[in-house]
Amino acid sequence: MVINPIIYTEDEIREFLHEVKDPEIPTISVVDLGVITDISISDDGEVSVVMTPTFVGCPAIDVMKKGVIDVLRQNGIVNSKVSVTFDTPWNSNRISEKGKAILKDFGLAPPPAYEVSFELDILNEVQCPFCDSYKTEMQTPFGPTLCRSIHYCHNCSQAFEQFKPL
Amino acid sequence: MNTEAVKNLLYRMADDALIIAHRNSEWTGLGPILEEDIAFSSIAQDKLGHALALYTILNELGEAEPDIIAFTRNEKDFCCSQLVEYPIGEYDFSLVRHFMFDTAEKLRYELLQQSTFEPIAKLAKKVSGEIKYHTFHADTWIFQLGSKGNEESKARMQSAINEVYPIAFSIFEPSSFEDSLIADATFVGEVELQKRWVERITSIVEGAGLKLPTIDVTSHYGGRNKFHTEHLQPLLDEMTVVFLLDPSAEW
């Protein structure tokens, strides 16, 4: 069996994983996006990372998984296991506060926080990421990627996208 | 748990998802407006993801790899409903099929969240959030082109509903595993699903000032027992043409 030369803590590994970005939004990390659902280290030092996709058909999950494996290797963690499951399903509340700020800087309205469930009416109450106005209207719930909807701001006359609540 | 019964349920759902994904993707580049082009393309991508997730569970139950299941079977091995096989037709046909199919999917996955078969219960929780967007899209158009539309749009929607409604019951064609699935609490069964679906469909269609015709619910049965329309095999031939050029290629 391959032994990892250094035993890292869960927090240290999470810090490494901040280097892995979403290929469709290259400023947000997999950690802030909330797709990392578990990090554990076994007694013999094997590192296990569990991931889950934003949308089931998200083609970016394979790229992100490869990114996680590569970053672990770069940090000397050769004895590792990276799996993708729906055990802890992704929802938009899993995006961190820092992650939401990053989305806004990228020009994407972050998804609103919700409790338990939400009605899709909230798609018409989205804050414009450019001028912060709520005078916006949803154009279509489907956008350039599975996780984005398209909106229009009547205040700054600008079309924008939202990272969809799920 | 009756594994054969679970596999049969998974195959029915996965084959439906794969074939409707292909049909929806046929609107890519051809949608009547850009937003609709993107909507049908996105829904297609979601469905393909659902099919992959379901074939992956089948693989864990001992079936072949997902790509092998999806791309190397012939018509006689598929158990999709006849509804998903029909060509896309005019946009009104595709919209009404999307509405009727996705309403059934939404209800099915809601019910499956309580399944005693854990992998499907977990997937159902996840997929339900996505399908909410699909039915939201479909319902919006039923109202826009129904009660909020003009004479032409209403007539076209009514005509498409008359055409699609009898075919849609092919979704609920019972399999020989119904009793077993119900006994094991894997799934409440097609009869219960159909009942909920009719209630939901009726409320939206009538709310949009349109009517459901009186029909024979068994008129398009066959798909679940691997008897298909003449439209399925040509679809499979097209869908698999690249894969079959070199099945061992790494993508």
pLDDT at B84 over 70: yes
pLDDT of residue A2 exceeding 70: no
Segment A17-22 shows an average pLDDT of 97
- Averaged pLDDT for residues A154-165: 96
pLDDT digits (tens, 9 = 90+) for B191-247: 999 999 999 999 999 999 999 999 999 999 999 999 999 999 999 999 999 999 998
Mutate to test the interface with A, among B57, B67, B127, B133 (most CBs of A within 10 A): B133
Helix axes B118-145 and B34-60, enclosed angle (nearest 10): 160
- Each residue's pLDDT tens digit, A33-86: 999 999 999 988 899 999 999 999 998 999 999 999 999 999 999 899 999 999
Q: What percent of chain B has pLDDT over 90?
A: 98
Residues of A in contact with B130 (CB under 8 A): 55-56, 166
**DSSP code for A152:** E
pLDDT at B95 over 90: yes
pLDDT tens for residues B133-148?
A: 999 999 999 999 999 9
Q: CB A86 to CB B53 under 8 A?
A: yes
Whether the per-residue pLDDT at A1 is higher than 70: the answer is no
Q: What's residue A118's pLDDT?
A: 86
Q: If you search the block for the tokens 């209403």, which residue do you land on?
A: B154
For B37, which residue in chain A has the nearest alpha carbon? Answer: A142
* A10-90 CATH fold: GMP Synthetase; Chain A, domain 3 (3.30.300)
For residue A130 the two structure tokens come to 């450019």
CATH 3.30.300.130 domain extents, chain A: 10-90
A160 phi, psi to nearest 5 deg: -150, 170
Shortest CA gap B212–chain A (Å): 27
CB atoms closer than 10 angstroms to residue B215 = 14
Q: What domains sit in chain B, N to C, each tagged with a CATH number?
A: 3-245 (1.20.1260.10)
pLDDT-derived band at B1 (thresholds 50, 70, 90) equals confident
Q: Closest-CA residue in chain B for A142? A: B39
B226 and A CB contact within 8 Å:
no
Which tens digit of pLDDT belongs to each residue from A88-144?
999 999 999 999 999 999 999 999 999 888 888 888 889 999 999 999 999 999 998
First-residue to last-residue Cα distance in chain A: 41
pLDDT of residue A119: 85
pTM: 0.94
Each residue of B96-105: b (16+ CB within 10 Å) or e?
A: bbbbbbbbbb
Interface residue of A120, A142, A151 to substitute, partner B, most B CBs within 10 Å: A142
Residue A45 has a pLDDT of 85
pLDDT classification of B107: cutoffs 50, 70, 90 = very high
Provide the phi-psi class of B89: left if phi over 0, else alpha when psi is between -120 and 50, else beta.
Answer: left
Per-residue pLDDT, A5? 73
Cα separation of B85 and B58, whole Å? 22
Backbone φ, ψ for residue B26 (5° rounding):
-70, -10
